[in-house]
């Protein structure tokens, strides 16, 4: 899908479809809003008649199509935006995604969004609306169809955002968001790969290819290098698979003199069977998405280069496949990690934190970052607590947490801060034979005890943890309730969020 910003008059566009947002109308009879009168004429009165008949209400997800005659697009699509008082950029993002999805396979290749119909004073200005529509169109039209031998409904090929006199700020926001959407689509393509293709070595090759195309310094640590370095955590988790583990680092140098250093660390379990503490069969296929944090790191590094952000950005991906076998790690094993601290393994299914123990400590020790941020599909408890649209954040640094909250509000990728207390730390440290244990063996505050475990390996750097277990992918059973821009498997969660954080680093939090 291509996106284009155009000063054209939407009703004269060369696209096949012109799209307008429609706010919910008051109950009872009313006159057609003045800004739709021209479209009423173009539809030879059909729009006005539908209005009078209350066929159009403007409620969310309501899509109504009219045929136009004369110059301009042959079709007019009105997409409901709901009550004006409840309108925000997220509504616009979802609405534009609904439209491109509804149009797939319906004989249209190009659509023009009339941006003025998506604005609302005090809630959504031109910059926010442009970003939302680009997100909705670009992400909503995404499909992972690589393995479908029969092509699915053809997606829209071109989305035009029509803005009469785009300001510099609008043009810059458009360019940036269009670039970001490309990066997210690319990220989804990798995160959606099945575990038979996306082995740790394959992720390493993707990183190297990215390094070549986007001038990033990439290093790959194979199992021999990991053994030399003392990365016992990654090696233990990867020990059960014939596809050996890898740790991958990527460096974007940043701009100017002495930029701040931000490290992003991702959990890259290419498949999580649970290992010897094996998972039940139901939904185990979802565990190919257990690499989503590490793949988001690839996307974030790509975004850092494409957006030319000022901070220096370090990516660290901890990649391993968690399988049961004669060489797998077991409950009761004690492993020595890169930091020197030991982990008592009580449950081989709590493997993400074991891999991250090495990756976090490596990033903290070798780069001494000003901010250390990890992304991990870490706990089922995260989705129990916050569901499939809001990621959990745990942070030891209020300023960093505030920056992330700000980036969340601006990007639309929702996060909610969760607490971390000495009680949770104690639970994790109460190990018989190691410094920490990887499971507390009772179903209690699973997201928080996992975070307390990770904190041990952050070596006191300013740190934030994002548990993305519930938000990293959609499944057939939940997809119909979720926003339309999250449509097929991997979401790419965290790329737009962290890209915003990096791009806004100098602006700071709390504007």
Interaction site with ligand BES (CB under 6 A): 272, 290, 347, 349-352, 377-381, 439, 446, 469
Tell me how far, at minimum, the Cβ of 272 lies from Zn ion, in Å. 4
CB < 8 Å & 24+ apart, contacts of 472-479 = 472/191, 472/289, 472/292, 472/293, 472/377, 473/191, 473/286, 473/289, 473/292, 474/388, 475/283, 475/286, 478/388
Partner from Zn ion, Mn ion, ligand BES, none contacting 379, C-beta within 5 to 8 A by type: ligand BES
Tell me how far, at minimum, the Cβ of 289 lies from ligand BES, in Å. 7
Q: Which lies closer to ligand BES via its Cβ, residue 95 or residue 490?
A: 490
Per CB under 5 A, the list member of 349, 374, 388, 406 interacting with Mn ion is 349
Q: Which residues contact 382 (CB under 8 A, 6 or more apart)?
A: 391, 392, 446, 447, 467, 468, 469, 470
Residue 21 pairs with which residues in a beta bridge?
Answer: 79
Per CB under 5 A, the list member of 272, 374, 406, 455 interacting with Mn ion is 272
| Rounded CA separation 313/310 (Å) | 9
Tell me how far, at minimum, the Cβ of 333 lies from ligand BES, in Å. 15
Q: Do 6 and 162 touch, CB atoms closer than 8 A?
A: yes
Q: Which lies closer to ligand BES via its Cβ, residue 101 or residue 188?
A: 188
Q: To which residue do tokens 């950005």 refer?
A: 313
| Rounded CA separation 237/83 (Å) | 50
Q: Which lies closer to Mn ion via its Cβ, residue 375 or residue 404?
A: 375
Q: Which stretch binds Mn ion (CB under 5 A): 57-65, 189-197, 341-349, 460-468?
A: 341-349
Tell me how far, at minimum, the Cβ of 452 lies from ligand BES, in Å. 12
Q: Which stretch binds Zn ion (CB under 5 A): 88-96, 232-240, 348-356, 416-424?
A: 348-356
The footprint of Zn ion on this chain (CB under 5 A) covers a number of residues equal to 4
Tell me how far, at minimum, the Cβ of 325 lies from Mn ion, in Å. 16
Q: Please tell me whether residue 467 binds Mn ion under the rule CB under 5 A.
A: no
DSSP, residue by residue, 12-51 = G-SSSEEEEEEEPPPSS--PPPGGGHHHHHHTTTHHHHHH
Q: Which lies closer to ligand BES via its Cβ, residue 3 or residue 236?
A: 236
Partner from Mn ion, ligand BES, Zn ion, none contacting 195, C-beta within 5 to 8 A by type: none
HEC profile for 263-291?
EEEEEEEEEECCCCCCCCCCCHHHHHHHH
Choose the catalytic residue: 120, 353, 496, 500. Answer: 353
Q: Which lies closer to ligand BES via its Cβ, residue 372 or residue 469?
A: 469
DSSP, residue by residue, 327-350 = TS--TT-EEE-TTS-EEE-S-TT-
SS3 160: strand
| Rounded CA separation 143/155 (Å) | 8
Residue ranges in 128-147 that form contacts with Zn ion under rule CB under 5 A: none
Q: Are strands 75-82 and 17-23 parallel, antiparallel or unpaired?
A: parallel
The footprint of Mn ion on this chain (CB under 5 A) covers a number of residues equal to 3
Q: Which stretch binds Zn ion (CB under 5 A): 169-177, 180-188, 271-279, 479-487?
A: 271-279
Tell me how far, at minimum, the Cβ of 275 lies from Mn ion, in Å. 8
Q: Are strands 463-467 and 371-376 parallel, antiparallel or unpaired?
A: parallel
Query: CA nearest 473: which of 346, 325, 337, 296?
Result: 296
| Rounded CA separation 403/407 (Å) | 6
Phi and psi for 4 in degrees, rounded to 5? -140, 140
Q: Which lies closer to Mn ion via its Cβ, residue 155 or residue 380?
A: 380
330 catalytic residue (yes or no): no
Judging by beta carbons within 10 Å of its beta carbon (0-12, 13-18, 19+), is residue 480 exposed, middle or buried? Answer: exposed
Per CB under 5 A, the list member of 98, 290, 344, 406 interacting with Zn ion is 290
Phi and psi for 461 in degrees, rounded to 5? -75, 155
**What would the two tokens of residue 465 be?**
């943890």
Tell me how far, at minimum, the Cβ of 423 lies from ligand BES, in Å. 17
Tell me how far, at minimum, the Cβ of 374 lies from Zn ion, in Å. 13
Q: Which lies closer to Mn ion via its Cβ, residue 41 or residue 279?
A: 279
Q: To which residue do tokens 């155009």 refer?
A: 6
Query: CA nearest 417: which of 437, 400, 440, 442?
Result: 400
Q: Which x/- pattern, by CB under 5 A, does the window 211-250 give for Zn ion?
A: ----------------------------------------
Q: Which lies closer to ligand BES via its Cβ, residue 274 or residue 462?
A: 274
Choose the catalytic residue: 41, 279, 330, 479. Answer: 279
Tell me how far, at minimum, the Cβ of 140 lies from Zn ion, in Å. 28
Partner from Mn ion, Zn ion, ligand BES, none contacting 293, C-beta within 5 to 8 A by type: none
Q: Which lies closer to Zn ion via its Cβ, residue 213 or residue 475?
A: 475
Residue 437 pairs with which residues in a beta bridge?
Answer: 344
Element (H, E) at 209: helix 200-213
Q: Which stretch binds Mn ion (CB under 5 A): 265-273, 369-377, 385-393, 435-443?
A: 265-273
Calculate the alpha carbon distances from 253 to 98, 198, 270, 359 in Å: 39, 27, 28, 20
Q: Which stretch binds Mn ion (CB under 5 A): 108-116, 164-172, 204-212, 345-353?
A: 345-353
Per CB under 5 A, the list member of 272, 321, 333, 467 interacting with Zn ion is 272
353 catalytic residue (yes or no): yes
Residues annotated as catalytic (active site), given as ranges: 279, 353
Binding footprint of Zn ion on the chain (CB under 5 A)? 269, 272, 290, 352
Binding footprint of Mn ion on the chain (CB under 5 A)? 272, 349, 351
């Amino acid at each position: 899908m291509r996106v284009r910003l155009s000063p054209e008059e939407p009703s004269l566009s060369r696209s096949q479809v012109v799209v307008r947002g429609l706010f919910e109308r008051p109950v009872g009879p009313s006159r057609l809003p003045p800004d739709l009168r021209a479209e009423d004429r173009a539809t030879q009165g059909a729009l006005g008649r539908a209005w009078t008949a209350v066929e159009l209400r403007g409620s969310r997800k309501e899509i109504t199509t009219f045929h136009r005659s004369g110059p301009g697009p042959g079709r007019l699509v009105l997409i409901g935006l709901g009550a004006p008082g409840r309108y925000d950029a997220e509504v616009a993002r979802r609405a534009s995604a609904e439209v491109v999805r509804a149009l797939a396979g319906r004989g249209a290749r190009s659509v023009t969004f009339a941006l003025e119909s998506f604005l609302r004073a005090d809630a959504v200005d031109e910059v926010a609306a442009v970003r939302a529509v680009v997100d909705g169109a670009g992400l909503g039209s995404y499909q992972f169809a690589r393995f479908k031998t029969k092509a699915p409904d053809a997606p829209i090929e071109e989305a035009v955002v029509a803005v009469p006199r785009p300001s510099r700020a609008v043009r810059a926001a458009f360019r940036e968001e269009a670039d970001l959407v490309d990066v997210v689509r690319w990220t989804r393509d990798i995160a959606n790969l099945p575990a038979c293709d996306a082995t740790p070595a394959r992720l390493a090759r993707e990183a190297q290819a990215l390094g070549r195309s986007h001038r990033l310094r990439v290093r790959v640590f194979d199992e021999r290098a990991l053994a030399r370095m003392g990365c016992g955590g990654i090696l233990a988790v990867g020990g059960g698979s014939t596809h050996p583990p890898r740790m991958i680092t990527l460096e974007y140098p940043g701009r100017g003199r002495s930029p701040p250093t931000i490290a992003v660390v991702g959990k890259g379990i290419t498949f999580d069977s649970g290992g010897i503490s094996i998972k039940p069969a139901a939904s185990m296929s979802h565990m190919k998405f257990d690499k989503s944090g590490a793949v988001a790191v690839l996307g974030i590094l790509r975004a850092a280069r494409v957006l030319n952000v000022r901070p220096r950005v370090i990516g660290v991906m901890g990649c391993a496949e968690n399988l049961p076998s004669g060489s797998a790690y077991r409950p009761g094993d004690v492993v020595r990690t890169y930091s020197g601290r030991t982990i008592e393994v009580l449950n081989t299914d709590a493997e993400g934190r074991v891999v991250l123990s090495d990756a976090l400590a490596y990033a903290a020790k070798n780069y001494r970052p000003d901010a250390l941020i990890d992304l991990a599909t870490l706990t089922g408890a995260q989705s129990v607590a916050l569901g499939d649209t809001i990621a959990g954040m745990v942070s030891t640094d209020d300023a960093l947490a505030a920056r992330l909250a700000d980036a969340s509000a601006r990007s639309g990728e929702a996060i909610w801060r969760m607490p971390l207390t000495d009680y949770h730390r104690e639970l994790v440290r109460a190990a018989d034979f190691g410094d920490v244990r990887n499971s507390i063996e009772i179903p209690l505050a699973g997201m928080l005890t996992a975070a307390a475990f990770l904190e041990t390996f952050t070596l006191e750097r300013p740190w934030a943890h994002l548990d993305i277990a519930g938000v990293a992918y959609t499944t057939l059973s939940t997809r119909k309730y979720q926003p339309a821009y999250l449509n097929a498997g991997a979401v790419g969660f965290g790329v737009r969020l962290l890209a915003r954080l990096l791009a806004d680093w100098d602006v700071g939090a709390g504007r």
